Structure 1
Amino acid sequence: MPTDSTPHRKHAQLARPALGEFGRHELAILGAPCGRIKELVTRLLPHLEPVLRVAYVDADHAAGDDAAQGGTGGADVIMQAGASVELTDKITFRRLDLRRDVDKFAQQEWMHHQSLVLVNGNHFRARQQIIILDPAKPLEKKLDRLTDVRLILLPEGVTELPDYLREHLQDTTIPQLALADTEAIAAAILQEWQQQRPYVRGLVLAGGRSQRMGEDKSRLTYHGQQEQRAYAAGSLAPFCEDVLVSCRPDQVAELEAAGLAPLPDTFLGLGPMSGLLSAFQLDPDAAWLVVACDLPFLTEATLSHLLAHRHAGRMATAYRSPENEWPEPLITIWEPRSYGTLLRFLSLGYSCPRKALINSDIELLPLPHQPSCGTLIPPSSEKPPRRS
């Protein structure tokens, strides 16, 4: 009989990202008729979209009523004829119609490209909420949906919370704003979003076999007797919660002996993608500041500039390579939602992080002007991947 006291697990125990119903950052708006909620979102979008990528989730009343009365529910002739999916290129945008039900997992997968999801709370739940105190739509029967109210909006003539809401919320610090004050509401949403930005952890990529160089490039010494992997980890330390060194499983002991924190690859044989995916598997809620071990001219100023211009509302913040104008994946801040993107590219047969950056919504920065910037990133013999 087995003597191991560790309980048997049928499935691997993976760290799950902290997602809501639709995404990482989501706000349900409720307490008003649907038309008023949509009108508020329409007013807010011009103030939010310059910073964030915003999705809106709602239900179509007219289509539902039509379907209930025996109509098509808004489906066009292709869907009526039996197609299960129809993708329509509207030239300025695309529309995807599905026949099957959309489950929670599909919702999260589709919405992970957005940095904020606004939700009509009359129909759907979200992890956090904005409530409107509209007398025409009292919230007394929806208190179970008010799990984390972040903002209270007061229509003209409304100055106080109803007693039932005051008793339910029991929090006098929730900000209250006039429903008509669009700029203040947008500013409050942006501030809330900034406060919830993912923390940053550091990752030094040192698991390569250095086949072209012929010796372990992570152990080269450009700075006195300090090996390059230790130099890179020390450079990241002031900017990150902690710093791990991505490595092959056979390197763990030597890294520990060198006083470094190893992260052995759990995805194998994928080059830099191995380290990236292994880091996100460990902590899918972190933003990972990733650098290659072979950047001897990496400076505090370069890292500071990258962090100062970080755009957490994009998939990643990267420098433009001085060599070929493509994004440089090995000195990049990868936000949590890049995890799904990298896995999607891997599922399509691509293990190139740069290809994921080129074909995604990222913040691309020119290298800061400093004497060493031209030699920050070592020349590469690889051709840049094509955009597809």
Structure 2
Amino acid sequence: MPKHDKIPRPQIGTFHRHELAVLGTPCGKIEQLASALVQALPELKTVYADADHQAGDNDRTAAMQAGSWGIFSDKISFTRLDFTGQLTDFQKKVLLLDADWVLVNGNHFEAAAQIAVIDPAKPLEKKLHKLTNVQLLLKSSDAVAIPDYLSAHLEGRSVPVLAWQDTAAIAQWVKGYLASRRAPLYGLVLTGGKSERMGQDKAQLNYHGKPQQQHTADLLAQHCERVFISCRFEQMAAVPVGYEGLPDTFTDLGPLSGILSAFRQYPDAAWLVLACDLPLMQAATLAQLVNERNPLKMATTFQSPHDNFPEPLVTIWEPKAYPILLQFLSMGYQCPRKALINNDIKLLQPVFPEHLANANTPEEAAAVLQALHKQTEQIT
């Protein structure tokens, strides 16, 4: 069989992009820590991953033995699905996408990062191979010391140390850890449309002394580590020198083509997406979006002043949005707004709603030019 080109693979662990396995202490104490952190971090959607030491669930056994593959239950305060199969590693990641982070019982499962507990009741000397990325040390009591074998294993790395009993300090550390893992912010100028209503390429219109695609990219560059101009392959030649083009690898999907193509190339980045047909957009509105970004949500976006729905083309899409958008596409939905409406997002009210006005027709473009001309006259 011919070899396929490799595409970048997102950095997702066993369960989630943000996961921490606790090991070095008995399972009961790990469960106690998980319970305490859930109470101390009510603003976070925490998942605790553990193995049930009981062989079965008596209230479900009869139905399962009768041949049912699964039982879906709306429990009013939560939803439950019991089924006879085993979740694959891929299904786990999809199922837990909406969580903010996963705390893992490291006695049963591995995770991409670890919290190591110094507890004489369960020494770590024979589990050093599981300590691949230790982020925090917890001392079970003031009397215990960090063993020499663990110090040697850490190879001089400076790892914070907290007391096992200090739940508040551990919770504060978790919040800081999640904040430190915020995805880098890249900018994406959407120019791949065919501009049929405008009658000419909207990306090349000049409202501000330069083509609109360059003006939009320059606005994004004030907030983003890198900025790309998203376009169809045949438009790549029109990307000006000094700007990076990103051609569509998903085609004929409207704006979703550019968003998915960007995630395909850089799946671990967050994307500040801005359409090129927003000539009144200004830096203040982008600053509001960036300053109020919540990287644990699927997206941070504005409520459109025109129809009150989320505005997908002035949005920060976080890495967790990539598989969600692909799922919507697999079900026949190519409108990114549909994904925003049906997922956990941060929805902002724009301070300057006029900045979100579209210009898709010659009449709208003329009105924008007239408004900009009046602004210039007022300033001068």
Q: TM-score, normalised by structure 1?
A: 0.89
Residue 313 of structure 1 deviates from its aligned partner by 0.6
Unaligned runs of 5+ in 2: 362-380
d(CA) in 2 for partners of 1:121, 1:158: 24
Q: 2:82 aligns with which of 97, 104, 108?
A: 97
Instruction: Report the CA distance shift for 1:167/1:362 in structure 2 as closer, same or farther (over 3 A).
Output: same
**What corresponds to 1:321 in structure 2?**
304
Are 1:55 and 2:55 an aligned pair?
no
Equivalent residue letter for 1:196 = R
**What corresponds to 1:215 in structure 2?**
200
d(CA) in 2 for partners of 1:296, 1:158: 64
Query: The residue matched to 2:251 in structure 1 has which SS?
Result: coil
d(CA) in 2 for partners of 1:188, 1:230: 41
d(CA) in 1 for partners of 2:98, 2:268: 15
d(CA) in 1 for partners of 2:58, 2:129: 30
Once the two structures are superposed, what CA deviation does each residue of 1:240-290 show, in whole Å capped at 9, x if it has no partner? Answer: 11111111111011114x543211111111000000000000010000000
Instruction: Report the CA distance shift for 1:9/1:158 in structure 2 as closer, same or farther (over 3 A).
Output: farther
Contact 1:53 1:313 in 2 (8 A): no
* Runs (4+) off by over 4 Å: none
**What corresponds to 1:37 in structure 2?**
30
Q: TM-score, normalised by structure 2?
A: 0.90
Once the two structures are superposed, what CA deviation does each residue of 1:110-155 show, in whole Å capped at 9, x if it has no partner? Answer: 1222221110111000010012222222222211111111111112
Query: How many residues align structurally?
Result: 361
Residues 162-177 of structure 1 aligned to structure 2 (within 5 Å) = 162-171=147-156, 173-177=158-162
Residue 375 of structure 1 deviates from its aligned partner by 4.3
State the superposition RMSD in angstroms: 1.9
Residue 74 of structure 1 deviates from its aligned partner by 6.6
Are 1:19 and 2:2 an aligned pair?
no
**What corresponds to 2:285 in structure 1?**
302
Residue 213 of structure 1 deviates from its aligned partner by 2.0
Instruction: Report the CA distance shift for 1:306/1:99 in structure 2 as closer, same or farther (over 3 A).
Output: same
**What corresponds to 1:3 in structure 2?**
none
Are 1:239 and 2:239 an aligned pair?
no
Unaligned runs of 5+ in 1: 1-7, 382-388
**What corresponds to 2:365 in structure 1?**
none
d(CA) in 1 for partners of 2:15, 2:316: 24
Q: 1:110 aligns with which of 76, 91, 95?
A: 95
Equivalent residue letter for 2:293 = R
Contact 1:202 1:242 in 2 (8 A): yes
Q: 1:206 aligns with which of 181, 191, 215?
A: 191
Contact 1:321 1:377 in 2 (8 A): no
d(CA) in 1 for partners of 2:153, 2:2: 40
Are 1:291 and 2:274 an aligned pair?
yes
Query: The residue matched to 1:319 in structure 2 has which SS?
Result: strand
Contact 2:285 2:355 in 1 (8 A): no
Q: 2:258 aligns with which of 263, 266, 275?
A: 275
Contact 1:153 1:179 in 2 (8 A): yes
**What corresponds to 1:179 in structure 2?**
164
Instruction: Report the CA distance shift for 1:285/1:74 in structure 2 as closer, same or farther (over 3 A).
Output: farther
d(CA) in 1 for partners of 2:208, 2:216: 11
